[in-house]
Amino acid sequence: MNKFGGEWTKQKLDVLEDYLNFYMTALKNMNFKKIYIDCFAGSGEIEFSDESKIEGSTIMSLNLDNKFDEYHFIEKDRKNFKELEKLKEHYPELNINVYNDDCNKVLPKIISKIDWRFSRGVLFIDPYATQLDFNILKKISFTKGIDVWYLFPFHAINRMLKKDKNINEEWKKVLNRCLGDESWEDDLYFESTQLNLFQNIEYEKVSTEDVQKFICKKMKEVFPYVSENYLVLKNSKNSPLFLLFLLISNDNPKAIGLVKKVEKYILKDKTMV
Ligand SMILES: C[S@@+](CC[C@H](N)C(=O)[O-])C[C@H]1O[C@@H](n2cnc3c(N)ncnc32)[C@H](O)[C@@H]1O
């Protein structure tokens, strides 16, 4: 069983559940194959430090009133994968597919096998940290059939973006992979007006809010629509841990209009930027 989280864990799952309910109602009478993909799937249940448990995203998706036609759960950890495999026995009537691999490898294969002219899907991306390669987002957007909730690992990224831009090569690679390219180097730093003792150029980093805006901008470069009010999930000390984005790959104005309405309703009363 997966052990992690805090209040933000429940918050992200509430948002996802509300969206899945809206989604299944909106598509109920439409002739599309409906697909749910969970690419950091966990073990099915989540246990908190006080030993209380809740349904994780996979079990929650299986328990919705309206069922998807296909479920795809990707989980790298062998133990968690085995727990997920058991869900097939608990829900024999549902089409559940479980993969024990890195989602960066498996997800492109899954989506390339689906005919998106006749299918629509929701994808939940819920990593602990910086595991998702930004290029995967481009492949998802290309389908024009997938709505994505991405829990972006803001804290992990922001920690690597050192204030003086003195970032080691290993972290630079992670930042490039997670943010898509090297544009963060110019966009998130500016030359300091104060020269040091040796007259070298020194750098300063933009504000936390501007780092968040930059991440949002990168998402907008890839998706036709990115939620206007992304959710900032914070820890008990009020520091931002994750940004929860809704990314829409369908460029149809009607579909985007509907999402805008529901996004307002779902994110209402939640802490936003
Ligand atoms: C935050 S947990 C997911 C929780 C899950 N969404 C839930 O609600 O129960 C992240 C999961 O991703 C798995 N994981 C880490 N790296 C992965 C990768 N590259 N591909 C697939 N799964 C990965 C971890 O083993 C862990 O179970």
Q: Where are the domains of the chain?
A: 2-154+208-267
* Residue of minimum CA distance from atom 5 in ligand 1: 42
Burial category of 155 from C-beta neighbours within 10 Å (exposed 0-12, middle 13-18, buried 19 and up): middle
Ligand 1 mean position, distance from CA 146 (Å): 20
pLDDT band at 272 (very low <50, low <70, confident <90, very high): very low
Q: What angle do CA 146, 151, 153 make, to 5 degrees?
A: 135
Contact residues of ligand 1, CB 6 A cut-off = 2, 40-42, 46, 56-57, 74-77, 80, 102-103, 126-128, 131
Taking the CA atoms of residue 222, residue 231, residue 17 and residue 126 in that order, the dihedral angle to the nearest 10 degrees is 60
Q: What is the mean pLDDT of residues 178-186?
A: 98
Which one of 1, 2, 104, 150 would you pick to mutate in the ligand 1 pocket, going by the greatest count of ligand atoms within 8 A of its CB? 2
- The pLDDT value given to residue 70: 98
**108 band by pLDDT with thresholds 50, 70 and 90:** very high
Average pLDDT over residues 219-243: 91
| Residue with token string 């504000």 | 207
**pLDDT (0 to 100) of residue 49:** 81
- The predicted pLDDT at position 239 comes to 87
3-state SS class at 261:
helix
Q: What is the pLDDT of residue 271?
A: 53
Position 65, amino acid? D
Look at residues 25, 5, 6 and name the one whose alpha carbon lies nearest to residue 266: 25
AA identity, residue 164? D
Query: Average of pLDDT values for 242-267?
Result: 92
The pLDDT-based confidence of 3 (bands split at 50, 70, 90) is low
According to the CATH classification, is domain 2-154+208-267 in 3.90.550.10? no
185 CA distance to ligand 1 middle (Å): 29
| DSSP 8-state code for residue 103 | H
Q: Tens digits of per-residue pLDDT, 40-65?
A: 999 999 988 888 889 999 999 999 99
CA nearest ligand 1 atom 25, residue? 77
